[in-house]
Amino acid sequence: MNLTLLIWRQKDARDKGKMVKYQVSGISEHMSFLEMLDVLNEDLVNKNEEPVAFDHDCREGICGMCSLQINGEAHGPDRRITTCQLHMRTFKDGDTIYIEPFRSKAFPVIKDLIVDRTSFERIQQAGGFISVNTSGNTQDANGILIGKEEADMAMDSATCIGCGACVATCKNSSAMLFVSAKVSQYALLPQGRIEAKDRVKNMIHQMDLEGFGNCTNTGACEVECPKGISLENIARLNREFLKASVK
């Protein structure tokens, strides 16, 4: 395939940035989207031009680093996948593809397509703690009785990879789906109940400090989430926060 790419280029956080047009040719439909960007960057390096900076690590849909806005959609037009799992067979020869970083005040651009998502880490640090002894005199996991339904819901919540697609998709740049997933994976298990009240209050407080917006109730975040994190988690987050706020 021969493709036209319109890519956001920005030297650093202070630079204004702009869209730059590139042409790539000989792209196989079997390539991943990131492999296509590798081809572009190899061509740019051969021309002594600055390659496009973008985040990636595992390239297996696990780490969540490959977060790109592709043709206006977080992780591109497919569903339940990350950018590294998007393949070029999704596109057609001659297509024009718009590639941008995730847009949010709380995700400032570092360079080109790379954004700073340490705000997510600070939210987790604000509440991701349990006082249960997890070393030395520990219980066997099978010795703690947990209902299958609760265990399954906790596991579903824990699949959140913190990529930020929910934030990039929400018109308010809300982090509610991410925060609710992290709160839920603890709140549903007995080990997480000890700090439950402080956790939910601290994480929501930190979320607000980071500048994320509130939930729009449109459900766009669930649609674009590569792991399909359910909106039920946001409802659980609201209930946990209400219980924690009532003295």
Domains of the chain by range and CATH? 3-111 (3.10.20.30), 117-132+144-245 (1.10.1060.10)
Per-residue pLDDT band at 141 (split at 50, 70, 90): low
What is the percent of the chain where pLDDT is above 90? 87
pLDDT at position 80, please? 95
Asked if 94 and 65 count as a contact pair (C-beta separation under 8 A), the reply is no
> In whole angstroms, how far apart are CA 44 and each of 49, 52, 96, 124, 204?
5, 8, 19, 38, 43
**Of residues 133 and 216, more confidently modeled:** 216
Once rounded to an integer, what is the mean pLDDT over residues 16-44?
98
Structure tokens at 18: 């702009």
Whether pLDDT at 247 is above 90: no
Whether pLDDT at 138 is above 80: no
pLDDT at position 135, please? 67
Tell me the whole-structure pTM to 2 decimals: 0.92
Distance in angstroms (rounded) separating the CA atoms of residues 71 and 84 = 15
Structure tokens at 123: 């939210």
pLDDT in tens, 184-203: 998 998 888 889 999 999 99
Which of 55-59, 104-108, 146-150, 210-214 has the least mean pLDDT? 146-150
